Structure 1
Amino acid sequence: MKQILLVVYTTLLTLILNAQNVGIGTNAATEKLEIKGGKLKFTDNGEIISADPYHRILFRRTENMLELREWGDIIFSSGATDSNATNTMIIEKQRKVGIGTSTPNNASILDLTSTNKGFLLPRMTAAQRDAIATPAPGLMIWCKDCGDFGQLLSYNNKRWVTTTNQTPDSGTPTDLSVGQSFRGGVVAYILQPGDPGYEPDLKHGLIAYPTDFTDTAWFNGSFNVVGAFSTAFGTGKSNTSLIVAALGNGNYAASLCDKLEKSRYIDWYLPSIDELRKLYNNKDLIGGFDNTKIYWSSSESSNFQAIGLFWNDGSYFGVGKNNLGNVRPVRNF
């Protein structure tokens, strides 16, 4: 009789378990197996496997390793729900990885897809780059202090080169000072806290062309408003672009700066009045100025006038665009 009852009980329990969900720590399980709180603990190596041997998670405790074995593709769906399983990363069984795409390009081992984000390389100084032990051919970095604003570099098994296969500019010296010859001209000003573009760990600033263009008009013969009204530090380059776009080619102040090339540097511009004042404050260290002349800024004041700085006393105000003054081009570093 006891054996019959045990068989009946076991049969009923099996039917209940087969028909219902099982909960551990909960009596309201909504899945076949639901564990509330606590841990699922393996005292040694363990595995979670599917009905076939092609999908498994291995807890390899003795090797301090978690291994995921999958015969097919592996998909990671960040921020997804049961009804919204949009994959953000896929590892295909053909050994292709896609991030932002579910169909990595067949020719790639890694396919990154986005319309609003980019690929960010490791960023370092030239000194940190040079400290990399035995860089591998093809290794790529962004050198923060190479060139004027950083350079994209790769290692070609002999040396670091730019994207045009040129030797990169050396890092900006930490002891750089006003008056020092540097990258096509003379250091005219070094950015200070509060200046646009200032970085505490990298030196940036203005480089002045070594000599002046003399007896130059601001305009090309027509009194027009070009919209270059900005006076602030950091706006000279945009002013110059506006002037050249409006006035076209010629031998006027902004154009002479814009088409200037020296020591392969072609990004010279006519300084704004606030930038020109920095040059005036450091004129003795920079050198080569004429104290009897007016120097043009790129800052326009009206259709007839632009702001000129009188080099004998540092005063500045609107001057007729047809007047002849000196021009000292600058570039950024």
Structure 2
Amino acid sequence: MNIKLKIALGLLMAQWTAQAQSITLDASDTKNILSVQTATQAIKLPVLNESQRNLIPAPVMGMQVYCSNCLAGIGPYAYNGSAWAPMFVPATSDLPSYTVGQLAQGGSVFFVDETGRHGLAAATLDQTASTKWFNVNFHITGATRVGIYGGIDNTSDIVRIEENGSYAAKIAQSHTGGGFGDWYLPSLEELRLMYNQKNVIGGFSSANYWSSTEISSSPASNPSTTAFVKDFTAGAEAPLSKGSTARVRAIRKF
């Protein structure tokens, strides 16, 4: 055993000695180098969301984390040398498959990934006909993600900065259709996917709809004053002042 591993395990043992019922380090054991026994406690992996996990610099084979919102499922993941893989995968036959236009997951399915078992659902009605993007003042929220599933972190960032109030992201986040509590304001690309399936989803007006994608100011240190909207009449996209009003349609990932 190298010296770094000895030191690391020594510190680990010192930390757990008062908590665990039994910690054994036995170099002569050819199967288990470290054994922890306890009837009342557990070892906790680092809990990260999918974006945080993917930002781990230079991961190495064997690293483990617990992902709180991963598309492939919430649970423990291990790095296999080239990608993060679920440590426990339910049988494929146990997971339902979906099609675009299906009423499921609290709304209308408008995007399905290559597995056929995950995607996006939109609420079947608008959550408001007119609301501002911001709460009171212009801020830098960091909600600049454009792609699929980017609206999740965009919405989280917006609400964290704008806090309580009645504005686009908060209204979308507060939706509880189907009994789900993970609705959010779509990113620009998610809004595009919705527009492409607007007749399938139904209930849209010929008006602007807010995305959660803000536009960075120049210089970037200045508060952002605009965000993208999409016109559901002909599909045009444009920046709009956060103080202007547009409609909101919440979506969720499943």
What TM-score do you get using the length of structure 1 for normalisation? 0.50
- Return closer, same or farther for 1:113/1:205 CA change in 2, 3 Å cut-off: closer
Q: Tell me which residue corresponds to 1:123.
A: 89
**What do the CA deviations read for 1:280-308 (whole angstroms, capped 9, x no partner)?**
001011100001x1000000014211000
Amino acid at match of 1:190: V
Three-state SS of the structure 1 residue aligned to 2:179 is: coil
**What do the CA deviations read for 1:105-153 (whole angstroms, capped 9, x no partner)?**
2649xx989895477875333746xxxxxxxxxxxxxxxx3xxxxxxxx
Task: Decide whether the 8 Å contact of 1:183 with 1:263 is kept in 2.
Answer: yes
Three-state SS of the structure 1 residue aligned to 2:195 is: helix
- 2:182 counterpart of 1:271: no
- 2:244 counterpart of 1:330: no
Task: Decide whether the 8 Å contact of 2:149 with 2:253 is kept in 1.
Answer: no
Quote how far apart the aligned CAs of 1:321 are. Answer: 0.8
Matches for 1:140-179 after TM superposition, within 5 Å: 145=95, 172-173=96-97, 176-179=98-101
More helix by share: 2
Task: Decide whether the 8 Å contact of 2:25 with 2:34 is kept in 1.
Answer: no
- Structure 1 residue runs of 4+, over 4 Å off? 111-122
- Return closer, same or farther for 1:76/1:296 CA change in 2, 3 Å cut-off: same
Three-state SS of the structure 2 residue aligned to 1:263 is: helix
Three-state SS of the structure 1 residue aligned to 2:153 is: helix
Distance between the aligned counterparts of 1:313 and 1:249, measured in 2? 33
Q: Tell me which residue corresponds to 2:129.
A: 214
Identity of aligned residues (%): 33
Task: Decide whether the 8 Å contact of 1:178 with 1:286 is kept in 2.
Answer: no
Matches for 1:216-231 after TM superposition, within 5 Å: 216-231=131-146
Task: Decide whether the 8 Å contact of 1:100 with 1:112 is kept in 2.
Answer: no
Q: Tell me which residue corresponds to 1:165.
A: none
Select the structure with the greater relative contact order (CA < 8 A; seq sep ≥ 6): 2
Q: Please list every run of 5 or more consecutive structure 1 residues that lacks an aligned counterpart in the other structure.
A: 1-74, 78-84, 90-98, 129-144, 146-171, 193-199
Three-state SS of the structure 1 residue aligned to 2:120 is: strand
Distance between the aligned counterparts of 1:276 and 1:88, measured in 2? 56
Matches for 1:194-205 after TM superposition, within 5 Å: 200=115, 202-205=116-119
Distance between the aligned counterparts of 2:28 and 2:139, measured in 1? 56
Task: Decide whether the 8 Å contact of 1:101 with 1:113 is kept in 2.
Answer: no
Count of residues in Structure 1 that have an aligned counterpart in Structure 2: 187
Three-state SS of the structure 1 residue aligned to 2:178 is: coil
Three-state SS of the structure 2 residue aligned to 1:123 is: coil
Task: Provide the aligned C-alpha RMSD in A.
Answer: 2.9
Quote how far apart the aligned CAs of 1:219 are. Answer: 0.7
- 2:228 counterpart of 1:307: yes
Q: Please list every run of 5 or more consecutive structure 2 residues that lacks an aligned counterpart in the other structure.
A: 1-23, 47-62, 66-75, 77-85, 217-223
What TM-score do you get using the length of structure 2 for normalisation? 0.65
Q: Tell me which residue corresponds to 1:105.
A: 37
Distance between the aligned counterparts of 1:227 and 1:185, measured in 2? 28
Quote how far apart the aligned CAs of 1:222 are. Answer: 0.8
